[in-house]
Amino acid sequence: MHQRDEIGFFIKLINDCIEKKANQTLKQFDLTLSQARILFYLHDHKETTTSQKDLEDFFEVTHPTIIGILNRLERKEFIRSETNSKDKRVKNIFLADKGGKVFCSMDHFKKSTEQKMLQDLTVDQIKELQSLLKIVYKNIQTF
């Protein structure tokens, strides 16, 4: 088995490539892929309040990672944050006006990207890919 044929290696190639291309496109919005994903999350969860911890759990990254991304987003005024008055340990995160404004054009970019990525695949193949990746994911998590 050659290194480049291994699933883990291949997944890394794909992930690096997605991130690079996305970051090049998102540069026009002064955003990175990880930052944009946070904005999408906040947009999708407008009705409920979101804490830093919620973002850690959803994106499955450690808290120093989330803190870094949020600090950069807040410095650029895409989001704002405030301490929860009920539980002062908790910091709530909100989409700021600027974050809402870039949303439409970003959403369009996101949909066309996902579409290009999955072109030449049938609906069944996409479902199959999702289900296979889910199994792989479950396997690695239980190491």
Euclidean distance between CA atoms 31 and 142, whole angstroms: 34
C-alpha radius of gyration, the chain, whole number: 18
Interface residue with DNA among 6, 20, 101, 125 (CB under 7 A) is 20
Measure CA of the first residue to CA of the last residue in the chain; give whole Å.
Answer: 22
Q: How many residues interact with DNA (rule CB under 7 A)?
A: 31
Binding site for a copy of itself (CB under 8 A): 2-19, 21, 37, 40-41, 44, 58, 60-61, 113-114, 116-121, 125-126, 128-130, 132-137, 139-141, 143
Residues 52-111 that bind DNA (CB under 7 A): 52-53, 56, 59-65, 67-70, 72, 86-91
Euclidean distance between CA atoms 73 and 85, whole angstroms: 23
Part of the chain binding DNA (CB under 7 A), chosen from 48-56, 95-103, 112-120, 123-131 = 48-56
Is residue 8 at the binding interface for DNA, with CB under 7 A as the rule?
no
Please name the helix (run of DSSP H) or strand (run of DSSP E) that holds residue 32, with its range, or none. Answer: none
Contact (Cβ atoms closer than 8 angstroms) between residue 94 and residue 47: no
Contact (Cβ atoms closer than 8 angstroms) between residue 84 and residue 104: no
Q: Which residues bind DNA (CB under 7 A)?
A: 12, 16, 20, 23-24, 32-35, 51-53, 56, 59-65, 67-70, 72, 86-91
